[in-house]
Structure 1
Amino acid sequence: MKHNQGETPALKIPVFVNKHAGSAEAVINSLAGRDDITVHTLLASDMQVAIQTAIDDGHKRVIVSGGDGTLALAAGILTDTETEMAIIPGGTLNHFAQRLLIPTDISSAIELAMHGKVASTHVAYVNNQIFLNTSSVGAYVTFVRTREYLERKMQYMTASILAGIRRLYHFRHTHIILNEQKIKTPLVFVGVGERDLQIPSVGQVKPDGREGLHLIVIRCHSSWSVIKLVFSAMLMGIDPLTKAKLVDNAIIDEVEVTLRSRKKSLTVAVDGELIKLRPPLQYRFKRDSLNVVVPEAKGGDK
């Protein structure tokens, strides 16, 4: 991550809050009474137009409050501009904020958003869709669908556990062509930045890891083989499984994934959201293209 010297904006800083974020009410209450900001409570679908208007009006910094999906929408407009994105985490997991060491405490996040320093960070694309953390094809897509259905009846964590169990029971493969190689797999995972492959941090962004897209392809042929792989990963991490040719993983700048399907569009998970894209899926990594507000002493994102 490359640091730049931020300047205090002359205009009031616009704050865009996803009205459906779980912390929206708390964020709005915490911002009440400030005379150096303007608060806009929006649907996620209206976020990009509002942020583009702020850029056109000359704002040097905008503050966005929401989960990873909301932040990705904002980043889609702010990437390759001089406008800085400050973040008040408002989602369930807040992976992007964690990667940048942004506090999840609302008051601390607001203080940082107003006065923090600026650094450039990396993003990725699948076709023309930006993502900040992860994208996947295969089992995770059906997992998200199941979890969203169950969330209507129960809490997020319970829904996630039951969705995982159901996906194991209804095991499915995805047939893909990865760089001209045919592979039968339940899951293709692409992360922004190198991921830790050792317990207890499997899947998390690796501190001081390599830049690029971390491609992980699982090679399993049944529910039982997936269960064995999960337990093996818990005991040994993914590196030994790579040597055993149960998992392919590599750090790359771009990759093409084609699903062997007659469908004109494919469902792809990006930052926890499901979208439809036309194949082939072209993944690419873009360095230092988004200006974000981060803690001064804790820059250095890879």
Structure 2
Amino acid sequence: MRDTAEKVDLSACRLCVIANRGSGKKDGDEQVAAIRDALTGKVAELALRLTDRGDQLSRLARQAVEDGFDIVLAFGGDGTQAAVAGALTGTDTLMGVLPGGTFNYFARDLGVGETIEDALATLLDAKAKPVDVGQIENLIFLNNVSLGAYPHILKTREGIYKRWGRSRLAAYWSVLVAMRRLRHPMHLVARVGGEERHFTTALVFVAHSAYQLDSFGLDGADAIRAGNFAVLIAKARRPLPLLQSAFRLAFGLSAKDNDFDLIITDSLTIETGRRQQLIAHDGEKTRMVSPFHLQVRHGALKVLVPADGSSKTKDAKA
């Protein structure tokens, strides 16, 4: 059951579902019921632990590990997946992924399926695969970490959504508002392999999702597949070109390589001129203290993927 080279015998496993009902899916309760129905009788023991609060996900996942479950199944968006992965990284507990968010980059990277139905089919015929995760200080992330413009776009977008509701127009407006407030670029030092590089920039994007980079049309996806980060540092300092770069990153549109300096590494330190910095990670936000130490944790998370090695993910846009 623990052998990562062999197909997982689901009938011999104790499985706990961690579901985030606050991921934004209106039919979340119906989907949770569908998950329960699909797994009932297929596993040795099934438990469902639900929450409407994202800050409770890590605690629920840690408790599931302590309770001895063989598999912890995360249902929700990339923020939910990252919270559960943070509790499971470095343990023998297997992680299953059920996409329930907007972009679901982690599920797409793994090839487990972009719908609940496909992901459940993967779970019923799966093998365990060790995968890399990113870490910044003591925080695990799956897809990306960013500093500067992007975290402030997320923060501004939340306020606009709360006041005016979710819409594409409101999302675009949030970028404009956030960029208007970012008048002073960051002065930072990136330390890689004993060398220092100095930058003046308003946006740093540390990518760890090959699928996401492919969808953005940026180089670096192959380096991520080889076990590295692709660190993108915006060259633009003036509002208009920076706004264009931020739009492309914020909305997954095709980006241009000449927008960014690119650093390929599996370990680096970033120091900014500010002691505290707002950090965006997998769609969530946290204030952290500079300098920031980032590393790839190689093979530190065991995830269920299709047993035959195939992928249920559609190709990313070039």
Is 1:260–2:255 an aligned residue pair? no
Residue deviations 1:158-184 (CA, integer Å, cap 9, x gap):
332222222344443122122243321
Match of 2:63 in 1: 53
Is 1:238–2:238 an aligned residue pair? no
Deviates most, 179-188 or 121-130: 179-188
Q: Structure 1, unaligned stretches of length 5 or more?
A: none
Identity %: 24
Match of 1:4 in 2: 5
| Aligned counterpart in structure 2 of residue 14 of structure 1, from 10, 13, 16 | 16
User: What is the TM-score when the length of structure 1 is the normalising length?
Assistant: 0.84
Please show how residues 31-46 of structure 1 align to structure 2 within 5 Å: 31-33=35-37, 34-35=40-41, 36=43, 37-42=46-51, 43-46=53-56
* Separation of aligned partners in 1, 2:146 and 2:207: 9
| Aligned counterpart in structure 1 of residue 134 of structure 2, from 115, 121, 124 | 124
Match of 1:294 in 2: 305
* Separation of aligned partners in 2, 1:198 and 1:103: 17
* Separation of aligned partners in 1, 2:265 and 2:224: 16
* Separation of aligned partners in 1, 2:248 and 2:287: 33
User: What is the TM-score when the length of structure 2 is the normalising length?
Assistant: 0.81
Secondary structure of the corresponding residue to residue 226 of structure 2: coil
Secondary structure of the corresponding residue to residue 34 of structure 2: helix
Is 1:90–2:103 an aligned residue pair? no
Match of 1:281 in 2: 292
Residue pair 2:142, 2:209 contacting (<8 A) in 1 also: no
Read off the aligned partner of 1:30 and give its amino acid letter: A
User: Per the alignment, do residues 20 and 26 of structure 1 end up closer, same or farther by CA in structure 2, a change over 3 Å counting?
Assistant: same
Read off the aligned partner of 2:24 and give its amino acid letter: G
Secondary structure of the corresponding residue to residue 155 of structure 2: helix
Secondary structure of the corresponding residue to residue 151 of structure 1: helix
Residue pair 2:216, 2:248 contacting (<8 A) in 1 also: no
Match of 1:175 in 2: 187
User: Per the alignment, do residues 294 and 12 of structure 1 end up closer, same or farther by CA in structure 2, a change over 3 Å counting?
Assistant: same
Read off the aligned partner of 1:272 and give its amino acid letter: G
Match of 1:108 in 2: 118
Shift of 1:155: 1.6
* Separation of aligned partners in 1, 2:266 and 2:36: 43
Read off the aligned partner of 1:284 and give its amino acid letter: Q
CA RMSD of the aligned region, Å? 3.1
User: Per the alignment, do residues 164 and 202 of structure 1 end up closer, same or farther by CA in structure 2, a change over 3 Å counting?
Assistant: farther
Residue deviations 1:44-73 (CA, integer Å, cap 9, x gap):
323223322322333221211011111111
Read off the aligned partner of 1:247 and give its amino acid letter: F
Read off the aligned partner of 2:86 and give its amino acid letter: G
Read off the aligned partner of 2:19 and give its amino acid letter: V
